Structure 1
Amino acid sequence: METIENVREFEKTPLYEQFPFTNSYELLMNAAQQFGDGHALEFLLQGLPEEKEQSTTYRELGEQVTRTANLLYSLGINTADSVSIILPVLPQTHFAIWGAQAAGISNPINPMLEAEHMAEIISAANSKVIICLGKSPATDIWEKAIAAAALTDSVTTIIAVNAAGMCDPSATLPEGSTLTLHDFDNAIAAMSAEKLDSGRDFEASEIAAYFHTGGTTGRPKLAQLTHGNMAFVGQLMQVYTAHMEHHTVLCGLPLFHIYGCIIQGIASFAVGYRIFLMTPSGFRSPTAMPNIWKLIDRFKVKQISAVPTVLMALSEIPVGDADISSLTNLNSGAAPLSRPFELSFEERFNVEIGNGYGMTETTSVISRAPIDQPPGSVGMRTPYGGIRIVQLDGATVTKNCEIGDSGAILVKGPQVFAGYKVEADNRNAWVEDGWFNTGDLGYLDENDCLFLSGRAKDLIIRSGHNIDPELIEEPINSHPDVVTSVAIGLPDAYTGELPMAYVVLTQGSSLTEQELIDYAAGLISERAAIPKRIDFLQEMPLTAVGKIFRPALRQKIGEEVVAGLLAGANIAAEISSENEKKRGLVIKVVAHDKSQIEAINDLVKSYIFSTDVS
């Protein structure tokens, strides 16, 4: 399906005739039967070139998922019950995620979060059981999971995954704990692998997973993905890869992340790929990353999916004598990738970099890159769904945009989630007749290829004039010395905000701020969007899944602006900032001389950010 005409022809056959499976469990069991003794997973604990791998066949994968589901069922987990999973990248993580969905609802959680944040997510999911890593000197996941469980009212059971060579299986719960503890491997070994003891009949509309997508302190936002969502994406992958031979995919992404879980999980299993799990830390492994080219050679990896920061790291690792000719495809996502960097990477390593588009709420898929992908595009829509570009007033469509005109991106289709768990989070998320508002801006070309142009909430507002950050970032990113850039609003007492950018340069570049401003000015079509300031960074602040964290940059520039004001007035103070739920960015100033508080308030009163002065 390389053209929109192909997609439309495919859609003439009803969905459930094309895709008969309606749930993740039966899709997995079909893969277990079809691919049998073929390897589903290869795992390395350390990431050393000669290290012995731990292999899992498709038959074993099906058995372990079934055993996990039966263990959870024996512990009282039914279809509406949630299981929180706090694990790094391990074979058991897949057993836990898909077994939890077969018994109830899986709730993968970022193991790098603090215990209090974990507890909020667990409570929001109302989980009865936590499956977490056992006690290990390499990480504090065990300690945080136990502490998080103690902060909830719902958790009754801890199941510890005592990964060989990583964990201490003799660890016990803290004295006085009322929780029940099980060893994961031992407990599932005692369960039947033949069939589900529950005798469950699945419905496509049943919730399969709660994925944490953000939210505020005290009330995390959980996206509800259905079994139908999972099964659709898995079977869609079968169609997209029907012309390809079975091959190996390197997974360095965390499995709590939607892409690592779905595209490099259920979708890859559905087509019989061999998935190489590159250590529990994935791309964060300080041992595996220097060896990555040798590991690609050893496992004959054909495909890698990564965020731009990983691609930048790869570009600085010597290939040496490794044979990486098996590697042909790289998928980049989560953040913009500089076009010059992309082209140089492709030429240097003889690979193709594809850019698709998806999010947690769409089971990671909105559009897919065709073979002939227009530069800058994120591909075409998937079958049985739709993409609309509109102008919005709140949750009301005021205009359907013409071809080439940018607007809000709305999506619809069998991959779109069932809504957020808390109804209040669904306000303004849905637009007329079930269209989901992605919060992104973009446009469609004459071939129905989608181009992203920013996020609606990231707009720079200069004297009431909206400036799309992409107007600034795209020209800056076209400079050969630029790796990536982020445009944000520079707080200004007169206009509210002026455009500025943070930029990461290529190693060894001597490019100056003024040279880059002049370069961008020659390409930016809107004069008001020409940046007034460009600051260079060694690296961008990132979220746990590798996305650029814009709020940190807004905090940084807000603090710098206030510091400059105070320095100009010879006022000494401590400055910090916080992104609050109701007020947004708040700059906090603690004056050394309390008699200067009024003067400080006068200095900052004209700025659009909130301030706390004491």
Structure 2
Amino acid sequence: MFEQAAAPDPASRPASWPVSWEVARPRLITELLDGAARAHPGRLAIDFYGRTWTYGDLADMVQRAARGLQDRGLRPGDRFGLCLPNCPAFVVLYFAALRVGAIVVNFNPLYTERELEHQIRDSGTRMIAVPDVAMIHDKVEAVAARSGIDTIVLCEMRGMLPRLMGLGFALFKRAEHATITDPALHLRLRDLLAAPPSPHPVDQSPDDVAVLQYTGGTTGVPKGAMLTHANLTANSAQMVRHVEGLLPDRCRVLGVLPMFHVFALTTVLNFSVETATEMVLLPRFEMAQVLKTMKRKPPTQFFGVPTIYVAINELPDDRVPDLSTVRSCISGGAPLPLEVRERFEARTGCQVVEGYGLSESSPIIACNPFDGRLKANSCGPAFPGTVLEIRDPADPTRLLPQGERGEVWARGPQVMKGYWQREDDTRAVLMDGALRTGDIGYLDEDGYLFLVDRIKDVILCGGYNVYPRVIEEATYQHPAIKEAVAIGVTDKYRGQAPKLFVALHEPGAVSVEDLRAFLAERLSKIELPKDIEVRDSLPKTMIGKLSKKELVEEEARKNTA
């Protein structure tokens, strides 16, 4: 699977750090499923609330759905949208669309009509899959005609659920059922699956775009990162190498992170299929259901974002899950505070390591090892086959020496082809064969990456750079703090000043005055927040990451009021 590639001269790249220069042979994503189905046709592939499908079942459904999509007119290069929560239909249609040479476009089911319409138009999506759930389907149908959609593939929940649950959904959840106003626009998944398992062969290359993964990127409006088959299969192979020796004969992943997000697309879907892992899928994070599912199907692999680990930390002692079967546990999507990691490990006995990546890199470019060589607040060394560089943000041609802070750049087979129909944006982030991440960080003497902050989040205080992450990490050291977000706000004297928002484990657990005194011992005067605001909870993104955007917008409105 692996071939040897030449490493750059370390002397010429003082702040570069290559790790394991073996890289995966470029492959099509469908090769992952072909291999799993051929080697393990009887192994469980999907568990959805207790209803299961084997890899043989999955391969057959993909073949049928692929032929059905071809018969409906889906052609190589067409964009096929997935606006689905985690469910069997997502997996089937993902591989089916790729089988016929189409490009998958991931849509967040919680998008507003405006967001849906923008992404449909920008990507040129003409077919889109949705569940027969009103809160998702009805928005898509409302914008379909004016945005260019000619087919909505309707995925019926009853057909995916165990018999009694499906019957309950049909009889007792009528208020949640989709309202179909244009039947001619719709194609039911069950009709696709009635097609023969014989799709027409198409010419494909691993360099073809497989997925448009929309992201805010390092600048501006959401844009589609063009991830090729080779990009995504490389990141999956890098995962295999990273967890080498930790995979039991039979693996099982709890898939609660949404697969429309690139972190789960790689770790829950592609990597699981490559390793013939059983995917226990849940459509959303609900703690009671997660705990019940963990007990019913103990996972060997668990992937989460920091807010999931915070939520588990908040559980009473008698509800903390037994994670003794977990062999690899990774946190991604956002920085994992040291205090959160240590508390999670102490309560569960399960080691969690932090990784780092971007949508533009499929996504993982760095991750801590599982052999105990962890460093506090580091996201680890470069992923196998990846080179990390630290460059001067003001002069990108200048590589910085080890230990000096600068912009993180990444090279590797997982780096995207570019942004969809945005040449200027592509040129701005892909330079000299590397990806500019927009993050500030440094590499230590062992090649471990330490992130300081996003370039765009840096607070400019009277000529000094203040990094919100430094403030947040200091805040998390207080035992009363559950969540913390620091942003820059307008200051007449210094231009900007830091403001801190916190949520507490228990109401009233610490006063603003006491928290300010606590921080004064850990931060410089320029870093000390001008204001501290306590809230019941802090805003989060669709996948549960803490979000600064809403807080920045609130403060901006205050200044214009």
Question: Given the alignment, which residue of 309, 312, 315 partners 1:314?
Answer: 312
User: 1:346–1:425: structure 2 CA closer, same or farther, 3 Å change rule?
Assistant: farther
Tell whether the 8 Å contact from 2:336 to 2:377 is kept in structure 1 after alignment.
no
Give the CA deviation at 1:448: 0.7
Q: CA deviation at 1:550?
A: 0.9
- The answer as to whether partners of 2:442 and 2:451 remain within 8 angstroms in 1 is yes
What letter corresponds to residue 185 of structure 1 in structure 2?
R
How many Å separate the matches in 2 of 1:473 and 1:170? 42
1:494 Cα offset (Å) = 2.3
Distance 2:177 2:528 in 1: 61
Q: Please give the per-residue CA displacement for 1:435-473, whole angstroms capped at 9, x wherever unaligned.
A: 111111111111111111100000111123221222322
Q: Does 1:141 align with 2:140?
A: no
The one-letter amino acid of 2:181's match is: P
Q: What is the 5 A alignment of 1:137-536? A: 139-153=134-148, 155-164=149-158, 165=166, 166=169, 173-174=180-181, 179-192=184-197, 195-197=198-200, 199-214=201-216, 220-243=222-245, 244-245=247-248, 246-278=250-282, 280=283, 282-283=284-285, 285=286, 289-318=287-316, 320=318, 323-327=322-326, 329-371=328-370, 372-393=373-394, 396-424=395-423, 426=425, 429-430=428-429, 432-507=431-506, 510-524=509-523, 526-536=524-534
- CA 431–77 in structure 1, closer or farther in 2 if over 3 Å, else same: closer
Give the whole-Å Cα distance in 1 for the aligned partners of 2:301 and 2:44: 16
Amino acid at match of 1:223: A
Q: Tell me whether 179-188 or 32-41 shows the greater mean CA deviation.
A: 179-188
Aligned identity (percent) is 28
Task: Tell me how far 1:383 sits from its aligned partner.
Answer: 2.6
Structure 2 counterpart of 1:593: none
1:257 Cα shift? Answer: 0.7
Conserved 8 A contact 1:513-1:533: no
Q: Could you tell me the TM-score, scaled by structure 2's length?
A: 0.88
Kept after mapping to 2: 8 A contact 1:98/1:106: no
Q: What are the superposed Cα offsets for residues 169-222 of structure 1, whole Å, 9 maximum, x if unpaired? A: 9978425x7x53211023222231xx541x123212100011111389x96411
- Partner Cα separation in structure 2 for residue 384 and residue 330 of structure 1: 21
Contact 2:368–2:381 at 8 Å: present in 1 too? Answer: yes
Q: TM-score, normalised by structure 1?
A: 0.81
The one-letter code of the counterpart of 2:214 is: H
The correspondence of residues 564-583 of structure 1 with structure 2, limited to 5 A, is: none
Is it true that 1:23 corresponds to 2:28 in the alignment?
yes
Q: SS where residue 352 of structure 1 aligns?
A: coil
Q: 1:89 aligns with which of 86, 91, 94?
A: 86
Looking at structure 1, the residues matched to 107 and 120 of structure 2 have their Cα atoms a distance apart, in angstroms, of 9
Deviates more, 1:542-551 or 1:512-521: 512-521
Contact 1:258 1:363 in 2 (8 A): yes
1:566-599 superposed Cα distances (whole Å, 9 cap, x missing partner): xxxxxxxxxxxxxxxxxxxxx3x3xxxxxxxxxx
Letter in 2 for 1:152: S
Inter-CA distance 469–387: structure 2 relative to 1 (3 Å threshold): same
Q: What displacement does 1:10 show?
A: 4.3
Contact 2:135 2:178 in 1 (8 A): no
Matches within 5 A, 1:519-558: 519-524=518-523, 526-558=524-556
Q: More deviation in 306-315 or 361-370?
A: 306-315
Equivalent position SS for 2:336 = coil
Cα pair 2:68 2:192 within 8 Å, conserved: yes
CA distance in 2, matches of 1:162, 1:62: 20
Task: Write the distance in 2 (CA, Å) between the matches of 1:428 and 1:496.
Answer: 31
Find the residue that maps to 2:553 and give its secondary structure: helix
| 1:389 aligned counterpart, secondary structure | strand
Deviation for aligned residue 1:233: 1.8
Q: 1:472 to 1:324 in 2, by over 3 A?
A: closer
Q: Note the aligned Cα RMSD (angstroms).
A: 2.7
Structure 2: runs of 5+ lacking an equivalent: 11-16, 159-165
C-alpha change, 1:554 and 1:172, in structure 2 (3 Å) is closer
Map of 1:102 onto structure 2? 99
Contact 1:241/1:271 (<8 A) preserved: no
482-491 or 77-86, larger mean C-alpha shift = 482-491
Contact 1:296/1:327 (<8 A) preserved: no
Q: Matched residues in 2 for 1:33 and 1:433: separation?
A: 40
Alignment correspondent of 1:580: none
Q: Following the alignment from structure 2 to structure 1, what is the Cα–Cα distance between the partners of residues 297 and 179?
A: 38
Deviation at 1:355, TM superposition (A): 0.6
- Alignment correspondent of 1:597: none
SS in 1 for 2:52: strand
SS in 2 for 1:417: coil
Quote how far apart the aligned CAs of 1:351 are: 1.1
Q: Deviations over 1:62-110 (max 9, x none)?
A: 2222222222222222221101111111111111112112221111101
- CA–CA distance in structure 2, aligned partners of residues 91 and 361 of structure 1: 26
Q: Which amino acid in 1 is paired with 2:216?
A: G
